[in-house]
Structure 1
């Protein structure tokens, strides 16, 4: 009888411990699946089944049990993640945000083999700090993606949207970083919104070489068109300006003028004088200017 009683007490205690452990595990799973920033993936549709949340890039899912085994997902507020059907962010890729209860509706169910954050989030993204971007041939990060991780002066493809994976990038509508250029620090769902109807060259911002100190290059900025009005000479880079521009005389060298401070915003590379600055299509005010080395064509 005592044995029976002791046995019954042990069974009851064991059942209580199992219940507490189950509650603890469920709470941990719920916290893991729903809390914090990052991307949460589920093996079943409608956010069911085994799940896990990631806040860092995953070049391969083969060792974590989710390789081509994801049917729904949730993305943290304000974040965008790139999912790909091949390891190391290769193959077919698309940028996702918010949530998707059934990846099968977009033909992505059980297709994801790698993913990485492209924007948003407060958790530092460990790994290589090398900059990279992804250009898409359709707006809203759709269509065929192409990755770039360094200067590329000759891009022969249509680009309608871009995700900034890391760093700041200069995008130009001319080959070899010519024509209208924009410095982009955040992803753009429609490049037409920043005045780029095409992209022919890209490079990390700040990678543009400048001529050596002591060169005799100079530029004259006029407040009116046809080289009239108040002139101002510049011989060196000026990162912070607020000048109305009507025309520009290139005394010597090649110069980059930008609508934003620190050589950001809309930028134009000038190798010859411009009698009517408004024809460049970047407005009539510049906030930075610098000499640059002409890129070989």
Structure 2
């Protein structure tokens, strides 16, 4: 009898604790306004709201005041594109969500949805084991911002296509000038105060964590590495722009171009497949991915700056 009573008490206490935790989330309030800058008609909701139609605010909100962090979604039942926001949001146009919010819910205490695009645990989702990117419309981490936790094949849907001027990165990321990781791509990491320094201000259309957080395949992993000698794709490098001057044919990874007398000596290239070029030896420093011929590396801010080269392996599941 004593054992039963003790267990019952423990179970009741646990349930009460869960109820209090859930209540703490449900108690969070979001106030929606018809106009920007918290003007016009307003409506407050408490806890998860799967469909704003019943409140008359479906696709009507232009600004928000939020207690805690909220997931704000375009479609009912938390579908479509969602953004995680907090605090005072003066103008939802900054998030490409003006008059487009149909559902919202507090984030605190809710496990991540495995079916969310870009989650590392979703088949085909993001790489990088916790890699995240916070991007800003203006330099010095100012202006509208949003966070990405997985690959973004086309930034048009986020309202940030060709609109990013600075970023804070956790892990290494590949950022590309065209959608679906096309055009000129670079591997970046850390805090980047001004993308103009990389020739990428307002030029990013897709981005994704580099596999394993390493910005590319690793030669020390099973199956990684093309090796040197006669193995792997070929690249022809030229000392001058427009494929002029002395040239050299290289195959496979080149961790230090000093060994072949080409360190910081390359101005144009012709290549088979995609190649990663880095400003430091052993694939360190700033890295950029190229595909096809590059007649003048000055246009990519890489003229006479390349110290290591390697082919980009296919088959990463991208």
Q: TM-score by structure 2 length?
A: 0.48
Q: Of the candidates 200, 211, 214, which is equivalent to residue 196 of structure 1? A: 200
User: How many angstroms apart in 2 are the aligned matches of 1:255 and 1:247?
Assistant: 13
Paired residue for 1:254?
Answer: 274
Contact 1:260 1:288 in 2 (8 A): yes
User: How many angstroms apart in 1 are the aligned matches of 2:225 and 2:153?
Assistant: 20
Gaps of 5+ in 1: 1-59, 69-82, 95-102, 104-111, 115-127
RMSD value, Cα: 4.4
Paired residue for 1:160?
Answer: 165
Alignment of 1:186-265 (within 5 A): 186-197=190-201, 198-205=203-210, 206=214, 208=216, 216-241=232-257, 242-250=263-271, 252-261=272-281, 262=283, 264-265=285-286
User: How many angstroms apart in 1 are the aligned matches of 2:130 and 2:67?
Assistant: 20
Alignment of 1:60-209 (within 5 A): 85-86=68-69, 91-92=84-85, 129-156=129-156, 157=161, 158-164=163-169, 166-197=170-201, 198-205=203-210, 206=214, 208=216
Contact 1:92 1:144 in 2 (8 A): no
Whether 2:284 is the aligned partner of 1:284: answer: no
Contact 2:177 2:185 in 1 (8 A): yes
Runs of 4+ residues over 4 Å off in structure 1 = 87-90, 209-216, 293-297
Deviation at 1:174, TM superposition (A): 2.6
Deviation at 1:187, TM superposition (A): 1.6
Contact 1:266 1:282 in 2 (8 A): no
Deviation at 1:218, TM superposition (A): 0.5
User: How many angstroms apart in 1 are the aligned matches of 2:204 and 2:140?
Assistant: 16
User: How many angstroms apart in 2 are the aligned matches of 1:277 and 1:179?
Assistant: 14
Deviation at 1:149, TM superposition (A): 1.8
> Given the superposition, is the C-alpha separation of residues 153 and 231 from structure 1 closer, same or farther in structure 2, using an over 3 Å criterion?
same
Structure with greater helix share of residues: 2
Gaps of 5+ in 2: 1-20, 30-65, 73-82, 89-105, 109-127, 218-223, 258-262
Deviation at 1:136, TM superposition (A): 2.0
3-state DSSP of counterpart to 2:254: coil
What do the CA deviations read for 1:3-45 (whole angstroms, capped 9, x no partner)?
xxxxxxxxxxxxxxxxxxxxxxxxxxxxxxxxxxxxxxxxxxx
Deviation at 1:207, TM superposition (A): 5.2
Q: Report the number of matched residues.
A: 197
3-state DSSP of counterpart to 2:192: coil
Contact 2:188 2:287 in 1 (8 A): no
User: How many angstroms apart in 2 are the aligned matches of 1:270 and 1:171?
Assistant: 14
What do the CA deviations read for 1:235-272 (whole angstroms, capped 9, x no partner)?
1122333231132232x332232334415415141323
